[in-house]
Amino acid sequence: MKHDLIQLAKNVFELEAKAVSSLTKKLDDTFIEVLNMIFNSKGRLVICGMGKSGHIGKKIAATLASTGTPSFFMHPGEAYHGDLGMLTDYDIIMLISNSGETEEIIKLIPTLKYRKIPMISITSNPLSTLSKLSDFNLDIGMHDEACLLGLAPTTSTTSTLAMGDALAVCLMQMHDFKPENFAMFHPGGSLGRKLLTKVKDIMVDKNLPIVAPETGFADILHVITQCRLGICIVMEGEKLLGIITDGDLRRALLSSERSRFDFQAKEIMTTTPITIDADENASAIEAIMIKKKNK
Cα-based distances in Å from 215 to 199, 223, 237, 240: 29, 10, 14, 15
- Amino acid type, 213: P
Helix, strand, coil percentages for the chain (3-state, nearest 5): 50, 15, 35
Task: Reduce the DSSP state of residue 215 to 3 states and report it.
Answer: coil
Please list, in sequence order, all residues whose beta carbon lies within 8 angstroms of the beta carbon of residue 257, skipping any fewer than 6 positions away. Answer: none
Closest CA to 45 of 118, 115, 107: 118
Query: Is 75 labelled as part of a ligand binding site?
Result: yes
Task: Reduce the DSSP state of residue 29 to 3 states and report it.
Answer: helix
Closest CA to 31 of 171, 161, 129: 171
Q: Rounded to the nearest 5 degrees, what angle is found at the Cα of 237, between the Cα atoms of 203 and 262?
A: 90
Strands (E), 97-216: 119-123, 136-139, 210-211
Name the maximum alpha-carbon separation found in the chain. 93
Closest CA to 230 of 240, 250, 245, 241: 245
Distance of CA 197 to the CA centre of its chain: 16
Strands (E), 214-290: 231-236, 239-245
CA distance 13 to 214: 71
H or E segment and range at residue 181: helix 179-185
Binding residues for Zn(2+): 75
Residues annotated in the binding site, as ranges? Answer: 75
